[in-house]
Amino acid sequence: MHETDHSTDDVSTKALLAGEAPRAMDPGLGYWELLERMVVGGWPGFRGLSTSDVSANLMDYLAALERIFAVEDQPAWSAHLRSGATLRKEPKRHFADPSLAAAALGVDVDGLMADPAYTGQLFESLVVQHLRVFAQPLRGVVCHARNSYGREVDAVVQLPDRAWAGFEVKLGASPETVELAAESLKRFAEQTETPPVSLTVVTSSGPSYRRPDGINVVAIGALAP
């Protein structure tokens, strides 16, 4: 969304990975518009188009993408934990762009509106996609982490110097949603031998800020390199 002008670019991922606190107003990206971005995707030929504009052309893209690499693994994080828990080694699998998943199932914005659970999965893929792009210039790798006790983090950005940052992704921005995500991040971080440079809850909307407990909250529509 940084490249398609759907982000305000107010929160730098590089700054987050350096431990800086975010501070930005609500980017004003409506829920419908966010879902539309997930359906249309970031394809250059679809820049600025709506779902109705793109519906007749996306299957052509799918046919072409069947012949190239369109799926990316999100590797499992490898780190030392304080507790007796062990980290799972299985990767997560994402399409290179979440719109491919929506197109493969024939789901439009109305379909996503009717299925919040599936939409949440696509939103996680969208955030992982953005973190991958923004971490690449820093030689960062985006992993996921889940230990044998069931505690997990949606995304871990591992930098070359072994510094790491954790991200929890939530399709929502209510205080209750953010609180649950923040507590999950803190519980996971407490089990690691190396403390994180930052912990961030990525939401679908709302302001970006640092909570008193040190957890960042960042709206996807404000995220930038």
In this structure, is residue 175 part of a structural domain? yes
CB 67 within 8 A of CB 135: no
Q: What is the pLDDT of residue 69?
A: 55
Q: Average pLDDT, stretch 16-22?
A: 97
In this structure, is residue 6 part of a structural domain? no
Q: Which tens digits make up the pLDDT trace of 87-146?
A: 667 777 788 888 888 888 888 999 999 999 999 999 999 999 999 999 999 999 999 887
Query: How many whole angstroms separate alpha carbon 65 and alpha carbon 60?
Result: 9
DSSP string, 92-144: EEEESSHHHHHHHHT--HHHHHT-HHHHHHHHHHHHHHHHHHHHGGGT-EEEE
In this structure, is residue 70 part of a structural domain? yes
Q: What is the pLDDT of residue 123?
A: 96
In this structure, is residue 146 part of a structural domain? yes
In this structure, is residue 2 part of a structural domain? no
CB 196 within 8 A of CB 164: yes
The 10 Å Cβ neighbour count of residue 223 is 27
Q: Of 5-14, 70-79, 80-89, 153-162, give the lowest mean pLDDT range.
A: 80-89
In this structure, is residue 145 part of a structural domain? yes
Q: What is the pLDDT of residue 67?
A: 56
Q: Which tens digits make up the pLDDT trace of 180-206?
A: 999 999 998 988 888 999 999 999 999
- Provide the mean pLDDT of the chain: 86
Q: Where are the beta strands (DSSP E) in the chain?
A: 11-12, 71-74, 92-95, 141-146, 152-158, 164-170, 198-203, 209-210, 216-219, 223-224
Query: How many whole angstroms separate alpha carbon 6 and alpha carbon 173?
Result: 18
| Structural domains of the chain, count | 1
Q: Which tens digits make up the pLDDT trace of 36-68?
A: 999 988 776 666 666 666 555 575 655 555 555
Question: Is 90 exceeded by the pLDDT of residue 11?
Answer: yes
Strand pairing category for 11-12 and 223-224: parallel
Query: How many whole angstroms separate alpha carbon 77 and alpha carbon 191?
Result: 14
In this structure, is residue 132 part of a structural domain? yes
Q: Is 61 helix (H, G, I), strand (E, B) or coil?
A: helix
Domain extent for 141: 11-224
In this structure, is residue 109 part of a structural domain? yes
Query: How many whole angstroms separate alpha carbon 56 and alpha carbon 90?
Result: 36
